[in-house]
Chains A and B, each alone.
Chain A
Amino acid sequence: MTVLNLLVLVCLLYVVLLFGVAFAADRAARIGRASWLRSSAVYTLSLSIYCTAWTFYGAVGFAARSGLEFVTIYLGPTLVMIGWWWTLRRLVRVGRSQRITSIADLISSRYGKSNLLAVLVTVLAVVGTTPYIALQLQSVTLSFAAFAKAEPSPTALPDMQSTALWVAAGLAVFTILFGTRNLDANERHHGVVMAIAMEAVVKLCALLAVGVFVVWGLSGGIGATLARIEASPIARFEVSGSRWVGLTLLSAMAFLTLPRMFQVLVVENEEDEHLRTAAWAFPTYLMLMSLFVVPIAVVGLELLPADANPDLFVLTLPLSEGRDGLAILSFLGGFSSATSMVIVAAIALSTMVSNHVVMPIWLHYSGRAAVVAGDVRTVALMARRLSIGGVLFLGYIYFRLSGGGTALAAIGLIAFVGVAQFLPALMGGLFWRGATRIGALAGLAFGAAVWLYCLFLPSFGPSVLLPQAVFDHGPWGLSWLRPRALFGTEGMDPVIHALMWSLLLNVSAFVLGSLLSFPQPLERLQGAQFVNASDRANAPGGWSGGMAQSEDLLLMAQRIMGAREAQALFASAARRQGVSGYLPEPSPDFLQELERALAGSVGAATAHAMVGQIVGGASVTVEDLMAVADEAAQIMEYSSQLEAKSQELARTARQLRQANETLTQISVQKDGFLSQISHELRTPMTSIRAFSEILRDTQDLTPDEQSKYATIIHDETVRLTRLLDDLLDLSVLENGQVDLNIQTGTLEALLDRSVRAAGGDGEGFRILRDRGSEQVELATDLDRLAQVFINLISNARKYCDAIPPVLSIRATVAEGRLVVDFVDNGSGISTDKHAVIFEKFSRIGQTKASGAGLGLAICREIMERLGGDISYLPGQKGAAFRVTLPLAEDRMAAQ
């Protein structure tokens, strides 16, 4: 059995082991017995995907070519983990609270869910990561080739292209199997994480083992190794300051923005507490990984032939010494580095591609019906799987195109500069509320363009994608636009050159764009959420709360639904679950039921947000808030309608109250009126009864007495009759049932008639008239008007207390109205009575006349019906009444 065959077998077994570990971890997580899966150790180890095949093999090559410069690649992440872990914590908290699925998702969420931004980030990430994936394929292929070359029979040399294809296909299968089990991209991929954690251990062990072998087995101990290093050309490499700083910064930036790093750092993070451990553990891991890089490089340069690829020293050193076992372990380390990177990168990229490119397009073309139909899930999963395949295929194509010739480190740095373009938008989004979508778009666009033009396209070499002429003289002969010497900055390192210009333009465009544009409401809200994220620590998520969560839920439900209903709901759910007591497990079914119940009171969005707040540990997202706001707006509109209604009701109630008061008043008046009538009727009846009994029972009455008493009875009967007549008359007048009988005649004639009816003008009662003024033609109900005159004359006759009593009647015509004044020479009516004399039963003075006090009330009603008026004239010597009546036009002309 040759070493190569053994290698293939070990490799296959290793892959089977990876599948097994991933499968077991997934299973353990699903049945909820995997608390160790969520340990900070696993989290720290998963971060080691930062160390790809580039680090595993390439760092040695880097050291062999440029000395200590490789350290920058470890220094950047170390600085970030130690010095900037609170930024990572904010990133992780924002990621969890916003249910972020990728860096594209995070940036687009921050800038108001801009899909354009998400697409831009996705495209840039794919373009930047594809060479990186190609790099991994290349490293696996090269390492295979290294084994093949060591074979005694060169006929066994495998086809490099097919090796890469097989590796890519295998990785695609693995990633699809364990990366797309669940639709929820935000959910942790326990299987994948576990597998890469294991790979992290393998690659560290392999590198350490090779290192130990090199130092103690080949070099002869620490002292001897240090001496070799001192003697080697590596010690004499001068690292330029700008390149040192630039590369450190670059690796720090890439650590934050590489899609795969974002995936393990943020998306797969279980608790922000894990960051605390990772802050020291991950730098330690990096230190261990870099420990033997220089010795291996030095020894490799010394022992191996000059044409040996320094990138493969880790593999070729043990091979050349015949240590096949160590070589295989080393190969597995490189294989692990490559595969873990490709798997996570594929998951991260496929999430971005399917969520921000495929799904929006599919939803756009299939319309809303699909969302309702529920096949979104299938489509989303399919999109993710196809995206994984696509990403890996792209990597393979790039590998084929680039021909696998370029040095590993160079490809890695190109990718680093590409993803570093996310940094301004990312950090600006986290720390600067003024950052806007326009700014982020502008910055990304400029940065990406410069990166493409200055670094990515030239990386294929002259005349592949960019013609040689552009390299030498710039496009269209514009020399200041030469890709390697932008704006005349000649003689710079290409990576530093591209990094400087791309970030400079990126940041400038980002800041300028942000300052010059106004964020939309959603953007502002999101910005506030992101920038303020660190102020509140979220409880760790998951379903571990159990009964404590149920209790919180019950407390909340009681407030909304009322204690009895909430308890009934919980108790019945507990019974259905077979749980003793009144608190059910917060199972998804129960939570849905609860949400529905709460939605009835507070609206669906609010209910969802509330339940999510308690159970999910996730804070409320902006969409939730927007939905809540919509509901609140509806409720407000509803309540303003209610308010309008209640105002209307209040108005109606006020009107009703007024009506009731009026009715009560009328009722009181009616009672008073009935009481008055009763009195007015009973008084004459009393006399009638008393005297009729006297006449009946008394035998010895004189004829005079008999006559006198009979007369009283008669008079009282007449009084009674008149009272009844007046009452009926008044009732008719008040009800408006009067038919006026319009006649014509002169005022003089009418007054003559009235004076006669009221007892005439005689010695005991003088009436003074000016007949000249009475020549007025009237056209009205003369009988009713006469009734008024008679009443006034009778009253004067009855009540005038002067001796001799005199009544003067004067008529005048003014402004189309006839005015007749009745003034006597008596003492008049006292001022306090003026207001009531026209009311019913208001008798003036104490004189017991035959009237019941209805006369003036009747006069007032009559004058009203005739369109005129009757009033008391104060300030005259005696009692004075004025009657006014409108005159018809033609009658006036007759005057």
Chain B
Amino acid sequence: MGKKVLLIEDEPNIIEAISFILSRDGWEVKTHANGHDAMDAVRRRAPDLIILDVMLPGKSGYDILGEIRHDADYASTPVLMLTARGQTRDRELAERAGVNRYMTKPFSNADVLAAVRDLVGT
């Protein structure tokens, strides 16, 4: 218990929903709502798992993922990407940037929970 998840997402209602689901499962959920200082948030929170939205104000999810993968401390931190853009090209971009799991919105709560558990390896 006590595994830390950083949720980078700008929709308040989605933040609320995911926080609720994960908290009830015993995860410590931290949130961050914009793109440009997302990497600072990652370093500050040192999460075990990052849930990342694609369309963020300031910087896109793909760029943030690239920065994470180039940071020695977080290069291997699992990243679950959630996006409202469900096109094939977006998935390819995400995989090339080194995503661990890719899910399109709207998602099933149970799937998100299962993905988080799976990725952190509990």
Contact = CB atoms under 8 A, between A and B. Distances in A.
B93 to A, nearest CB: 13
Given A675-B87, A678-B85, A846-B10, A690 B34 contact: no
B106 interface: yes
Interface in A679-722: 679, 682-683, 685-691, 693-694, 697-698, 712, 716
B54 to A, nearest CB: 9
A595 to B, nearest CB: 67
A848 interface: yes
A691 B13 contact: yes
Contacts of A698: 24
Contacts of B16: 712
B84 A690 contact: no
Contacts of B87: 675, 678
Contact of A678 (B12, B17, B84): B84
Contacts of A848: 10-12
A675 B13 CA distance: 21
B91 to A, nearest CB: 13
B87 to A, nearest CB: 7
B18 interface: yes
Given A685-B106, A848-B11, A679 B85 contact: yes
Contacts of B104: 682
Contacts of A685: 105-106
Interface string B37-63: 000000000000000000101100000
Contact of A682 (B12, B13, B106): B106
Contact of B18 (A675, A689, A690, A716): A690
Contacts of B107: 686, 689-690
A686 B87 CA distance: 17
Contact of B105 (A675, A683, A712): A683
Contacts of A675: 85, 87
Given A675-B87, A678-B86, A686 B11 contact: yes
Contacts of A683: 11, 14, 84, 105
A679 B87 CA distance: 11
Contacts of B106: 682, 685-686, 688-690
Contacts of A682: 84-86, 104-106
Contacts of B10: 846, 848
Given A693-B109, A846-B34, A846-B57, A687 B20 contact: no
B13 to A, nearest CB: 4
Interface string B1-25: 0000000001111101110110010
B122 interface: no
Nearest to A682: B84
A631 B13 CA distance: 85
Interface string A486-523: 00000000000000000000000000000000000000
A361 to B, nearest CB: 91
A694 B109 contact: yes
Interface in A647-700: 675, 678-679, 682-683, 685-691, 693-694, 697-698
Contacts of B20: 694
A360 to B, nearest CB: 87
Choose among A690, A693, A846, A848 the residue with the greatest number of B CB atoms under 10 Å from its CB: A690
A679 B84 CA distance: 5
Choose among A682, A685, A698 the residue with the greatest number of B CB atoms under 10 Å from its CB: A682
Contacts of B58: 846
Choose among B10, B84, B86 the residue with the greatest number of A CB atoms under 10 Å from its CB: B84
Contacts of B86: 678, 682
A714 to B, nearest CB: 11
A686 B84 contact: yes
B17 A687 contact: yes
A687 B11 contact: yes
Contacts of A712: 13, 16
Interface string B80-122: 0000111100000000000000001111111000000000000
Nearest to B90: A675
A694 B21 CA distance: 8
B85 A716 contact: no
A671 to B, nearest CB: 9
Contacts of A694: 17, 20-21, 109
A39 B118 CA distance: 115
A693 B108 CA distance: 8
Choose among A679, A685, A712 the residue with the greatest number of B CB atoms under 10 Å from its CB: A679
Nearest to B21: A694
Interface in A833-849: 846, 848
A93 B85 CA distance: 91
Contacts of A846: 10, 34, 57-58
A683 B84 CA distance: 6
Nearest to A694: B20
Nearest to A676: B85
Nearest to A712: B13
Nearest to B24: A698
Nearest to A679: B84
A716 B20 CA distance: 18
B109 A686 contact: no
A609 B85 CA distance: 76
Contact of A679 (B17, B55, B110): B55
A704 to B, nearest CB: 13
Nearest to A716: B13
Contact of A690 (B55, B85, B109): B109
Contacts of A689: 106-108
Contacts of B14: 683, 686-687, 690
Given A679-B55, A690-B14, 9 more contacts: A678-B85, A683-B84, A685-B105, A687-B14, A689-B107, A690-B18, A690-B109, A716-B13, A846-B57
14 contacts: A675-B87, A678-B87, A682-B86, A686-B84, A686-B107, A687-B13, A688-B106, A689-B106, A690-B17, A690-B106, A694-B109, A697-B110, A712-B16, A848-B10
Cβ-closest 5 pairs across A and B: A690-B17, A846-B57, A682-B84, A687-B13, A686-B105
